[in-house]
Amino acid sequence: MGGWEAHLQELSTIGLWSKTERLFHINVLELRAIRLGLQAFFPRLAGQAVLIRTDNTTSVFYIAKQGGTRLQALSEEAQMLRHCAISHGIDIAVEHLPGCQNDQAEAFSWQLSDCNEWKLHQDQVDPIFYQWGQPMIDLFATPNNMKCQEADFGIQER
């Protein structure tokens, strides 16, 4: 994930993650993107009730519960979001929106995917490959979720 994007009706705003931020857990980045999007639209949102729609279920949980106990960085992001909203008189609600139903955000994505396509984050895969070696074939892979260096999708010509 190289950057973030937020939408408010016909408006949108984008930003890129710093080198340091790129090292953060994806769920921390998702919450931060929501906060940065909210901040970008403060002039239009002050004193309003705002529905935040995100495809990240962890963000939904942490915003709805105004924090959590699993990861301190997530709680801190949720608390900063809450503080920003309160300081601008914004009442926030949150709703899960499956990624495949969010055309605006998906257009910004680095990769096109569908709702049924899953992949492991490269940070999780690297230690496995280090211990067990690089696989030769990427079974069940698509161009969007492959992990092998070569584009071998297990298809053999006859």
pLDDT in tens, 96-105: 988 665 555 5
Question: Given this model, what pLDDT does residue 121 score?
Answer: 80
Same domain, 82 and 151: no
Contact 85, 31 (CB under 8 A): no
Same domain, 106 and 145: no
Same domain, 93 and 125: no
Question: Given this model, what pLDDT does residue 99 score?
Answer: 64
Same domain, 64 and 122: no
Same domain, 15 and 90: yes
What is the percent of the chain with per-residue pLDDT over 90, rounded to a whole number?
A: 37
Same domain, 9 and 61: yes
Same domain, 62 and 138: no
Rg (CA), the chain: 18
List the domain range (segments joined by +) for residue 150: 117-158
Question: Given this model, what pLDDT does residue 142 score?
Answer: 67
Instruction: Work out how many domains the chain is built from and give that number.
Output: 2
Question: Given this model, what pLDDT does residue 35 score?
Answer: 95
Same domain, 104 and 121: no
Residue identified by tokens 């079974």 is 139
- Pairing outcome for strands 91-96 and 49-54: parallel
Same domain, 123 and 105: no
Same domain, 31 and 60: yes
Same domain, 80 and 138: no
* Higher pLDDT pick, 33 / 103: 33
Question: Given this model, what pLDDT does residue 156 score?
Answer: 44
